[in-house]
Structure 1
Amino acid sequence: MLTAVRRELAGLATSVALVALAGCGTTGLPATPTPTPGRPGPAMVQIENSILARPHAGLQQADLVYEYLAEGGITRMTVIYFKPSGNQRIEPVRSARPVTIRLWHAYKGVIFFSGANTKVLQMIQQQQIPALTESSDGGAYFARDASRRAPHNLYTDGDRLAQGLNKYAPRVTYQLPSPGTPGASPAPAVANRIVFNQTNVHRVTYTYSAADGAYAYGTETGPLIDKNTGQPIKPVNVILIQVAHHDAGFTDVLGAPAVDFDLQGTGPADVFSKGHRYTATWDLTNAELPLKIVGADGKPMHLPSGLTWIHLVDPGTPITAS
């Protein structure tokens, strides 16, 4: 995995050297270097959501979270930080899944994870995806939480993520929608409480607070707590995208069938923001650009700034909103 990263960086360095040599004239003076465009891609951290993984830490400070079925009814998250910083813990970090690869192509950052099935590791290596584990660079990006039981005790923090991005992140130029308010036409329905089953064992309840301008995340066992704040995790925007999943064709490290998602093209979406529900469409027709949420007017939706939480749910999943 790290070998693939080094190979990619070595190839890039060779290319840059060849460009510089080609630009040298008879005077022997090097050509003016071309500035690297764009900005570093984001940190993409794999976080588990089993009962043993709770309470989480560091999710409230994220920019974007994708939550999806992993196996056995348990969900996993790809937690995205566009400009990570600070020493607050982010945990527990766990393994990558096939959909992690799809999300990487959309956002092109650096994956921070504990490992993966052999097949997923091969995909990471073959596609030269920057991906860092506990053993990368002498353990620079992770540590173990002595208060938790392994394997649910691997953590990182914003400063460690930033260090990894500075060294390995691809440069990106895509633009994300600017903050705003969804269109009022058609008039959105009231949605102060949202209830749905993401899997057969994971029941999700969101309760809106006008004072917070956010939805408190509740689960089948109670509030989903971020121990850095001591409070329930409170996304400003909650989005459910309907997307089918299928057997990935191989098993995970425990022998369970691996899950992949048909996360391509377009599909129905429900957007919850500021106590209202909006009907929308998710759009990933270009797999190499971030997923778009398109409103009823056919234009990308502009949502209030703050943590946005995207749940991948089965097509036709019942949603109760009131």
Structure 2
Amino acid sequence: MSRFASLAELRAACLDLPGGHEAAAAVARREARLTKPPGSLGRLEEAVAWLAAWQGRNPPSLGRVEIMVFAGNHGVTAQGVSAYPPEVTAQMVANFASGGAAINQLAREACAELRVVALSLDEPTADFTEGPAMSEAEFLDAVSAGYEDVSDAPDLVVLGEMGIGNTTAAAALAGALFGGGARFAGTGTGVDGEGLARKRAAIEAALARHANVLNDPLRAAGALGGRELAAILGACLAARKKRVPVLLDGMVSTAAVAPLKALRGDALDHAWAGHVSAEAGHRLLLQELGMRPLLDLGMRLGEGSGAAVAVLVLRAALACHTGMATFEEAHVSDKGT
């Protein structure tokens, strides 16, 4: 049985969100006494305060980092929107299981636990150019799967995905939420010019077909998204309820959680963008959401890979905050003294 019995119940959960903790203030006080000019570590300083605000600890911890990769298949691939066939989704899930993917290597280097959740890969969503991608029940089930899969005590959750055709779904959902039609469409897995034209046409057709639900972020997510996008939304919501900070990966993961922001302006305060993808629409989407990515490395793999690299940056930030001496401890003269 779905945790969320109706869209109304899910909507209520999306609107009833806890705030952060006051631990960030204590972090700022220590940061001001460390042996460096104020602000000289830039966003590394902000990162520690953000972690503390959502973990409620000073200092925060990265002892338990979980990378969650959700996988789903999409009926819109029938429109020729991807350079790869749909069976690649299941094949890559098997590759994750055997340790052969990029995310396996990055998770190990980031000292993170990798969990892969496959969602009905033998039952793709419907082609959303012809009808809703998911029924209300299917959407709620996928959201609930993501919500329930967030464990009770992680220090940080990284959200990633795998799904042939899902950049088309992500671009369509972004277009539904922020307007502009197919402006969020990119080459995804590497389609050529004709493939990109088909992708844009599919997005425009879907937005026209589902125009009556585009003013409702959750109904739009059901009509245009995918099971893995819905699960990412659920996982991000669960993390907020548990006051766990979240790192988002690329275009798909960001689009997946965008309905939360559309429903409540501060709904993603616990979430940071790990990186900006080379996928064309991701930078545009981050701008719409008011998010600043930690990294810009030209990555576009998905799998949570960009955000996994960003975990290393967070570890560097935390090491500086906890390991550096204060002016008093190091007997170093402070500014003006």
The reply to whether TM is greater than 0.5 is no
User: Higher relative contact order by CA 8 Å / sep ≥ 6: 1 or 2?
Assistant: 2
Normalising by the residue count of structure 2, what TM-score does the alignment of the two structures yield?
A: 0.28
| The structure with more strand, counted as a fraction of residues | 1
| The structure with more helix, counted as a fraction of residues | 2
Normalising by the residue count of structure 1, what TM-score does the alignment of the two structures yield?
A: 0.29
